[in-house]
A and B are shown apart, each in its own frame.
Chain A
Amino acid sequence: MTLDTSYLEYPWRQRGMDHEHYPYSIMHQRTPIVWPDAKRLLIWPVVSLEYFPMVPADLPFRAPGHMQTAYPDYRHYTAREYGTRIGIFRLLGAFEKVGTKVSVATNSAIAERYPELICEIMAAGHEIVAHSTDMNGAIASGMEEADERALILSSLDILEKACGIRPRGWLSIARSQSFNTAKILTELGAEYMCDWVNDELPYTFQTKAGAITNIPLNHELSDRQIINVQQQSVDSYAQQMLDAADWLLGETKSHGGRMLPMHLTPYIMGLPYRISAFENLIAQLAAQQDIGFARGEEILDSWQTQQ
């Protein structure tokens, strides 16, 4: 099939990006960031709390980790539930041991189904980041804007009711957005999103409804990517996080504060044979004076005061 002549036309071929959401910026040339308490590297743990309905909606796509067999897929339904019954407490325990507070990206269905879990997370001083409704709450272009707005609003409202405060942050399922998502989040008062992985520091993302901050949650450094997708061991995962922390600490000597996102999944990292290696990793990181841990909202607040 011959291509239409328009295939060799490039309407966005111009200086800068091919969209209006953010200008081009070189991270290594920015004004150095200074984190609180003289920490040079902030680790940002984000634990995803997910509820997978046993009937996948597949609209607009099936979330990673969702059901795989013919109905009833007890195998995957219950293995994911293991994360919200057991795995999450192993992860929270690992963080308690070093006295750190984390972000928990939570499906609002968790708040409806397991309110005692939300109470415990909030009482411990962790942050709830809104993570859609349940794992059927995926977003992509093709959705009606009104449906997408209703989905996001429902997640924020339910979590606000359960937590007593409105979540300040948003993580989309599979970090998947439509062209409307950032605008809707801004309209609904979300202060930051975690979906765009193009940077290693927060940056301002413009929408037709105003600005929102994107705090990049590196997908490559997630337990899902390293352990589930790339099939590497938890020891290799730990080595990779330590190598990343070493490298970033090195950059802080000449370039100011850095952050290292650590995206975790309770049913992946919270297994008995993996959690000890993870606890060792956290302990090794926490033992370094230049390294701190932070919730997303702390990173947001610190970064915003320096802009």
Chain B
Amino acid sequence: MSEQQQSDPGLYDYLSYRNRPKITWPGGKTCAVWVAPNLEFYELDPAVNPHRKSWPKPHPDVVGYSHRDHANRVSHWRMAEMMTKHGFPGSVSLSVALCDHIPEVVQDANQRGWEFFSHGIYNTRYSYGMDEAQERAIIEDSIATVERATGQRIRGWLAPALTHTPRTLGLIAEYGLDYTCDLYHDDQPTDIRVKSGELTAIPYSLEVNDHYGFFIYNMSPREYADTLIRQYDRLADEGDKSGTVMCIPLHSYLIGQPHRIGPFEAVLEHIAGDGRAWITKAGDIVDSFREQMA
């Protein structure tokens, strides 16, 4: 760790919510809605990172591992089918090793026209403690692995299990990635200060992430659906002044459980039927934002 720790990371200038330049999304829509399914692979017996435990229990953490394995066997297929049914493409937060382990899931997402960004190699391998060469290796691995599996060049990054180093944002910009999903300061995109390249922070969300909904706020499936609808309604209202972004970050092993997927359908029906939503992918939002800010 050669870099000194900074109390202000200096990522962006302060910008008050009032009197901002007006963003207008294509077709005059007020809220850009993107769905971010996390397609992940967790290891049963991963290597140990001294800065963070992979599993709360000694390996094998049977419930932890098998709950997440439900995603690839069962719930991805449920969630993906429902998204397609209602016209929502995915922008995938991908554990890129899933391309090697379960190409069926990755191909399914690709065939549905979804976009991929990297969420690290595995969600059980963390960036904490990596030196620059190691961090470059996982970025290069991500770019090459996804390109080989899907033909797509990744444009974005969500740090593996949200583990960062102070180098990460600069490095992904240097490699030509366009967006980061790791910053939560705004409901609109923000250009981030980087040494080389161009990097935009796109609003992802922890607050309405299904993991937070179910395990931080302990919501019932119907409460979570209602939360998403309220979040959308407010952002679509405010987006009349300047276009907002709403992300719906999902983990199929949570939202695709049989007691949750039915109530969730009401959310997609509501947003698709409202008329003010630009239902799209992360890269398109970043492109539209940059065109308007240029």
Give the B-binding residues of A (Cβ under 8 A): 1-3, 6-10, 12-19, 24-28, 60-61, 140-142, 172, 174-179, 195-200, 216, 218-221, 226, 229-232, 236, 239-241, 243-248, 260
| A24 with B66, Cβ < 8 A, contacts A7-B47, A15-B100 known | no
Nearest-CB distance from A190 to chain B (Å)?
16
Determine whether the beta carbon of B43 is less than 8 Å from that of A18.
yes
- Min CB–CB distance B199 → chain A (angstroms): 24
A-B contacts besides A1-B51, A198-B68, 10 pairs, CB < 8 Å: A1-B50, A13-B101, A18-B43, A140-B58, A200-B74, A230-B214, A230-B218, A240-B259, A244-B259, A247-B262
A142–B61 CA distance with the chains assembled, in angstroms: 13
Q: Which of B123-170 contact A (CB under 8 A)?
A: 125, 129-131, 134, 137-138
Which B residues are in CB contact (< 8 Å) with A3?
49-50, 129-131, 134
- Chain A contacts of B103 at CB under 8 A? 15
Q: Are B218 and A24 in contact (CB under 8 A)?
A: no
A246–B221 alpha-carbon span in the complex (Å): 14
In Å, the complex CA distance between A195 and B62 comes to 7
CB distance from A200 to the nearest CB of B (A): 6
**Which residues of chain A have C-beta atoms less than 8 A from B130's C-beta?**
2-3, 7
User: A199–B73 contact, CB under 8 A?
Assistant: yes
Q: Which residues of B contact A6 (CB under 8 A)?
A: 47
For the complex, give the distance between the alpha carbons of A278 and B134 in Å: 54
Q: Which of A9, A26, A172, A219 contacts B73 (CB 8 A)?
A: A26
Flag if B259 contacts A232 (CB, 8 Å). no
Closest CB in chain B relative to A284 CB, distance in Å: 15
**Sorted from nearest, which 10 A-B pairs have the closest CB atoms?**
A198-B69, A198-B66, A244-B259, A244-B258, A230-B218, A141-B58, A240-B259, A196-B66, A3-B129, A247-B262
Asked if B218 and A27 sit within 8 Å, CB to CB, the answer is no
Say whether, besides A60-B58, A246-B262, A219 and B63 are in contact (CB < 8 Å): yes
Residues of B within 8 A of A (CB): 41, 43-45, 47, 49-51, 57-60, 62-63, 65-70, 72-74, 77-78, 97, 100-104, 121-122, 125, 129-131, 134, 137-138, 214, 218-222, 257-263
Sample 12 A-B pairs with CB under 8 A, ordered by A number: A1-B51, A12-B43, A13-B121, A17-B101, A26-B77, A28-B77, A178-B58, A197-B70, A247-B259, A247-B261, A247-B262, A260-B258
Q: Check if B73 sits within 8 Å of A24, measured CB to CB.
A: yes
Query: In the complex, are the beta carbons of A199 and B58 less than 8 A apart?
Result: no
Q: How far is the CA of A3 from the CA of B125 in the complex (A)?
A: 11
- In this complex, what residue of B is CB-closest to A9? B47
Bound-state CA distance A174–B66 (Å) is 13
Complex: A231 Cα to B217 Cα, angstroms? 10
A261 to B261, CA, bound (A): 17
Contact B258 A200 (CB under 8 A): yes
Q: How far in angstroms is the closest Cβ of chain B from A66?
A: 16
Considering the complex, give the chain B residue whose CB is closest to the CB of A229. B218
Q: How far apart sit A16 and B97, CA to CA, in the bound complex (Å)?
A: 11
Q: State A1–B130 Cα separation when bound (angstroms).
A: 8
Which residue of A13, A14, A175, A243 is within 8 Å of B263 (Cβ)?
Answer: A243
Give Cα distance in the complex from A241 to B101, angstroms: 33
What is the CB-to-nearest-CB distance from B16 to chain A, in angstroms, rounded to a whole number? 37
Chain A nearest Cβ from B64, distance in angstroms: 10
Contacting residues, chain B, for A195 (C-beta < 8 A): 62-63, 66
